[in-house]
Amino acid sequence: MSTKPDLLMIDPFPAGIVARLAEHFNLHTYSDLDQFKPIADKVRGVATGGGSGLPRPLMDALPALEVIAVNGVGTDQIDLDEARRRKIGVATTLGTLTDDVADMAIVLTLSVMRDTVLNDRLVRSGEWSRNSLPLSRSVTGKRMGIAGFGQIGQAIAHRAAAFGMELAYFNSKPRPESAVRFESDLKKLAEWSDILVLAVSGGPRSANMVNAEILEALGPDGVLINIARGSVVDEAALLSALQEKRIAGAGLDVFQNEPNINPEFFKLDNTVLQAHQASATVETRTIMGNLMVDNLIAHFDGKPLLTPIL
């Protein structure tokens, strides 16, 4: 009989990561709670993604659960209070995806401001030979406001500075170690910004923090960039603002109800849309997956988690 701990794998992972998991654990996958119940009391660990997390009903069905390893930095889909009460360890892959996510924020900023996706479509359709293409806007000298100034927000600021952009940030508390100006009011930051970048954590505290009032403050020349969580934005208000040109455009890597996003987004020329791809590079996903596995191995070897949240 195998002495490997039983592990529930919520998300699919690359073959190399699954092979590492299978080397150390008895793997189980989940599709239906009723079908899963016969083995649920054996599961001691969970491997999951930041978007999927661990639904509370499933968490309640795992009485022997000791550790949750997240392949990402999001924990808004995990009941951390319950994990804390049950003394369940939670680890993320914090620090592994900072650069790629910051890069995506800049990619989306440039794509929206310079109309690269729209121009690509016009060139492919033959429009270039029939009409002059629209002028885009420079990013040099523009004001970028960053909501959320943790590792990712600070990495975005570092990159934006190289484009000669003026910077300010909103955060739950100021970062005195940073030379970037702190703004304690999100609405005031939006009023000041040409480009408002969202890099806040998900969860109830930030839900719909970018609402109609914030978008109105951003104004008809403003651009919204979201590489945080779809839950951070009131999507009905955003769609209305984009459709009515009350903001100039948006670059979105995340959405509510992804991947089944609101099809109204597909009709808009003033948006650039990505499929939650900010950390989706071969290099970063490999590092993330291996760190997730290493956290699980450390726990079951009786060692501290490498990158714990709890």
Taking alpha carbons only, the member of 290, 303, 301, 302 closest to residue 69 is 290
| Cα distance between residue 228 and residue 120, in whole Å | 26
| Cα distance between residue 49 and residue 276, in whole Å | 12
Active-site residue (options: 44, 229, 285, 299): 229
CA end-to-end span of the chain: 32
| Cα distance between residue 91 and residue 214, in whole Å | 33
Taking alpha carbons only, the member of 195, 190, 155 closest to residue 170 is 190
In the annotation, is 229 catalytic?
yes
DSSP characters over 48-83:
EETTT---HHHHHT-TT--EEEEESS--TTS-HHHH
- With beta carbons less than 8 A apart as the criterion, state whether 70 and 92 touch: yes
What residues does 197 pair with on adjacent strands?
Answer: 146, 225
In the annotation, is 276 catalytic?
yes
**Exposed / middle / buried, residue 260 (Cβ in 10 Å: 0-12, 13-18, 19+):** exposed
Tell me which DSSP letter residue 147 carries: E
Could you give the angle at the alpha carbon of 140 between the alpha carbons of 139 and 143, nearest 5°? 70
Q: Give Cβ neighbours of residue 258 (< 8 Å, ≥ 6 apart).
A: 51, 230, 275, 276
| Cα distance between residue 108 and residue 224, in whole Å | 10
Active-site residue (options: 20, 44, 183, 276): 276
| Residues with catalytic roles | 229, 258, 276
